[in-house]
A and B are shown apart, each in its own frame.
Chain A
Amino acid sequence: MSEQSAHRALGLTDHEFDLICEKMGREPNGVELAMFSLLWSEHCAYKHSRKLLRNLPTDGPRVVMGPGENAGAVDIGNGYSIAFKVESHNHPSAVEPFQGAATGVGGILRDVIALGARPIAILDSLRFGEPDTERTHYLVDGVVRGIGHYGNCMGIPTVGGEIYFEPPYEQNPLVNAMCVGIARTDEMVRAAAAGAGNKVVLFGSLTGRDGIGGASVLASAELDEGDDAKRPTVQIGDPFEESKLLECCQELLAEELLVSLQDLGAAGLTSSAGEMASAGNTGIDIDVGLVPLREADMEPFEIMVSESQERMLAVVEPSKVDAVLALCTKWQTASAVIGEVTDSGTFRILKHGETVGEIRVDDLVDGCPLYDLDPEEPAGWTYPNRVTIEDEATPSDITLSLLSSPSIASKRWAFEQYDSVVGSRTVHRAGAADAAVLNIPESGRAIAISIDGNGRRVACDPFQGTIEATLECAANLAVVGAEPLGVTNCLNFGNPEKPGVAWQLGRAVEGLAEACRALEAPVVGGNVSLYNETPQGPIYPTPVVGMVGELPDPEKVAGENWQEGDAVALVGPFDPSLAGSELEKQRGEIGKGLPVREIGPVKTAIELVRDAVRSGGVRTATDVSDGGLSTALAELSISSGIGFEGELSALIARRDCSEDDALFGEGPGGFIIAGEPAELEKLGGQGVDFELIGEVGGNELVITAGNSRVEVLVEEAAAAFDSLEDRIESDQAGLTH
């Protein structure tokens, strides 16, 4: 293969190849071309999204580290920071679900470890096709086991997440993993090489041929037929190695032995060493002959681009090298000095002292052209619709149908496969959790974490849908009394070179920026996953928003355990509409557009609920989300085992909406609060819409809305809500550990 066609096979365009030649003043050799192809890939260079991302708000008084570092971090007081980031591992999981998901978790953990933080929580946001096909069963089974395998073995609790099932994800599932860690702020390390003459130490697993080209081949191109052949590009995870690596890093940092630290992820050594040199404005020499290998006969280019997991790169002062290697030996992890920081501004690859590649750091890391998108709003709805509910379904039938809808139904069967308590921080709450709450004795407070993103609603209206996802996170935090500190996000979209997808991406980023600005929640990091499409078309545009908040008292969080006799109120500017709703999906009527809702009043309602929960007066709270009011009320009944009777005529009158809208409509800004009537009344008259809608009691859920009436036994509702496990449980015994 000539160099001319080699660059195309590696994913570079002719224009990009010419630019490389121009910058180097010659054609790159094989090693150099391999390195360029990875760092100039979409996955590493963000070449189609970087310009858009510049519009996100990234500053705030609590921000310690923002975008550009391995992960973002916010100050939580008393000398501590919380580091967090969400990242995708979609295409590897589509090709090999168990290892794809496992290494997705492993990778995001290392991003947080590299900051000098100890991971304390994992959350996952997953998307699959409808759960009635063999492929979906296979993917769900593998992904859930893979996440559990890695997190459980590492001893990091998986404390929350969400799973949606929609047809556009059938061939291209989404696996987004978020990690949250804690660090002493003054001990956090940046990934910048410094000090010419300092040594570069590689430690962790041996370097093998796994994952070669993962970033360019898998992460930056559409999925296609025959992707089984790409399985060798999926990395293999070993959580035991990472567990040792974590403890080793923690000791290395505690002993103050490192100048800087960086994990090896996509594009392996090329990316880690290149980015370290770039961030530190230095040069770097790497001798591939010194890299501890799993297979002896690896070529220099293979060593430079290998994506073998569980490896870290550190810059160390010469006098401390022996101590670093000794600690690695203690933790039974391989280590070697493989190079040196220089002041040349050049990334030099050597093999036993002989130069085999030489690239200017700037050209490699920052030289990739950034592309403007060519957006065009599609004229109509471009995704398939299908009818799954009968025309004559009664409101009671609809309620049960919504509760058993895969995206709404209980995911307990999945979350019970994850260790959620290790680390002794997880705050126990009755009923399903809107947000996870972790005790932080280091700061004397607690943090709450939420992750959300409804791709269907974003497909209806990327701007409004992304605002809603962000507001949903903030609402989830509010019901546990938490205020937002920072946001991370993962933008999962189709091929940005297509005008329709480019439009979705642009509008979604605008929505994210607007919502984060309004909530004063800076975006401190994130990840972009493009080319999520197959010959069947693109996925729903899916911005996944992860939000970290803070609360003063982990003992004062609301749950979903209402009591017999509690009064129930609806609070907030909630103005329900069937547009983009779960019911509209079941009716096969999804179309373009969502009603516009102002952020301001929603924010005010969020703050009111947060303060009420913090005061201790509100013990039961949840926000109205997928499936609307009937679903939210049913879920509260199911989690406590006690029914409800109420009516929605005031809501119908106030919003001038239909009965279906009131019962099943969706939209931001609705909270259900239950408790002593006197406590609830305190929420009225504070500038936020408030109305009592009923009372807790009995064994039946009864909701009247004009001439419509839902009458469902709590037991029936629970059976519907718990029906997903049987539908999805695959009988494959699978890998066990």
Chain B
Amino acid sequence: MKWGVLQFPGSCDERDALNACRIAEASLGEGGGSGGSRLVWHEETDLSGLDGIVVPGGFSYGDYLRAGAIARFSPAMNAVAEFAAGGGPVLGICNGFQVLCESGLLPGALLTNERTRFICRQGDLIVGDADSPFLSELEAGTTISIPFKHQSGRFFAPPELLEEIEANNQVAFRYAPGHNPNGSLNDIAGVTNQAGNVLGLMPHPEHAVEEFSGSTDGLALFRGPALAGANA
């Protein structure tokens, strides 16, 4: 599976996400990790040949207006919207989640943390019951440990929308009891779109793919789409 990892000026975690994609590929025996996964420059519009997209963490264009508010207008994001509409798997991590919400590809919004400060910590997530190719290797109700780090990660949706998200089983991850770092509604750490092919989460699975980091629980998200056979 060939991944494209978006790179905006101000992205921080794009090389880490690409690394995670390659480790996932290698673990699936697809070309020993040397496959065609690559960075996608924010001005690119041609995603042909790519089987999945990661919108990575960071501070796209500096995020001086509102996290993700500028990146949604980038040429690459227009292409990603088309890619997603065609059923292609799209994973948004942290700033990528914010960008996907700003783009309307995912429901809800990410507000400044309740305590207003940046927080970086290893935390537990409970896998939700969303039907998504990214979760094909993860069983609903199980707990995974991956780090989170953000200042604007408080998931918010107005009551009707929140109800709809819950009713449609669009919750991909919730913070485990006592691990909600930011005041997210319903402890929501990640959601999918209705079709399930677009998933966004605040925690960083790409930083939990190698033993030395203390956890390899994040790898499942990068293996999921290939295992689900969900190529675009």
Contact = CB atoms under 8 A, between A and B. Distances in A.
Contact of A418 (B20, B61, B120, B215): B120
Size class of the B contact interface (CB-based, 8 Å): 35 or more
A427 B211 CA distance: 9
B213 interface: yes
Contact of B213 (A331, A417, A421): A421
A591 to B, nearest CB: 40
Interface stretch (A146-154, A295-303, A486-494): A146-154
B9 A155 contact: no
A419 B121 CA distance: 9
Contacts of A419: 12, 118, 120, 149
Interface in A400-433: 416-424, 426-429
Contacts of B204: 421
Interface residues of A, number: 36
A243 B10 contact: yes
B201 to A, nearest CB: 15
B15, B207, B215 — which one has the most chain A CB atoms within 10 A of its CB? B207
Contacts of B10: 153, 240, 243-244
Contacts of A555: 211-212
A733 interface: yes
A439 interface: yes
Contacts of B116: 733-734, 736
A399 B88 CA distance: 59
Interface in B112-139: 112, 116-122
Given A240-B62, A439-B212, A737-B151, A420 B120 contact: yes
A332 B74 CA distance: 14
B29 to A, nearest CB: 21
B13 to A, nearest CB: 6
Interface in A243-277: 243-244, 247
A145 interface: yes
A331 B58 contact: no
A331 B119 contact: no
B120 A416 contact: yes
Contacts of B62: 153, 238-241
B82 interface: no
Given A153-B59, A244-B10, A554 B119 contact: no
Contacts of B63: 240, 737
Nearest to A415: B120
B213 A424 contact: yes
B187 interface: no
B13, B63, B209 — which one has the most chain A CB atoms within 10 A of its CB? B13
A424 B120 contact: no
B36 interface: no
B9 A422 contact: no
B164 interface: no
B190 interface: no
A420 B117 CA distance: 15
B231 interface: no
Interface string A154-190: 1100000000000000000000000000000000000
B153 to A, nearest CB: 12
B146 to A, nearest CB: 10
Contacts of A426: 213
Interface in A554-568: 554-555
Contacts of B16: 422-424
A734 B57 CA distance: 24
B31 interface: no
B206, B211, B213 — which one has the most chain A CB atoms within 10 A of its CB? B213
B225 interface: no
Contacts of A422: 12-13, 16, 57, 149, 207
Contact of A424 (B9, B58, B206, B214): B206
Contact of B207 (A152, A239, A424, A554): A424
B213 A155 contact: no
Given A421-B147, A421-B149, A422-B16, A152 B9 contact: no
A102 to B, nearest CB: 13
A240 B120 CA distance: 20
A737 B98 CA distance: 14
Interface in B10-66: 10-13, 15-16, 19-20, 57-59, 61-64
A145 B117 contact: yes
B9 A428 contact: no
Contact of B58 (A155, A421, A733, A737): A155
A241 B61 CA distance: 9
A421 B120 contact: yes
B58 to A, nearest CB: 6
A429 to B, nearest CB: 8
B210 interface: yes
B63 to A, nearest CB: 7
Given A240-B59, A421-B149, A427 B64 contact: no
B213 A152 contact: no
Interface string A294-319: 00000000000000000000000000
Nearest to A244: B9
A348 B58 CA distance: 42
B55 to A, nearest CB: 15
Contacts of B215: 428
Contacts of A239: 59, 62
Interface in B62-91: 62-64
B213 A427 contact: yes
B12 A428 contact: no
Contacts of A145: 117
B9 A243 contact: yes
B209 to A, nearest CB: 8
Contacts of A737: 63, 118, 151
28 contacts: A148-B118, A149-B118, A152-B12, A152-B59, A153-B59, A155-B58, A239-B62, A240-B10, A331-B9, A417-B117, A417-B118, A417-B119, A417-B120, A419-B118, A420-B120, A421-B213, A424-B15, A424-B206, A424-B207, A424-B209, A427-B212, A427-B213, A428-B213, A428-B215, A555-B212, A734-B116, A736-B117, A736-B151
Interface of B: 9-13, 15-16, 19-20, 57-59, 61-64, 112, 116-122, 147, 149, 151, 204, 206-207, 209-215
Q: Which 10 A-B pairs have the closest CB atoms?
A: A155-B12, A428-B214, A240-B62, A424-B16, A421-B207, A419-B149, A427-B212, A554-B212, A153-B59, A421-B147
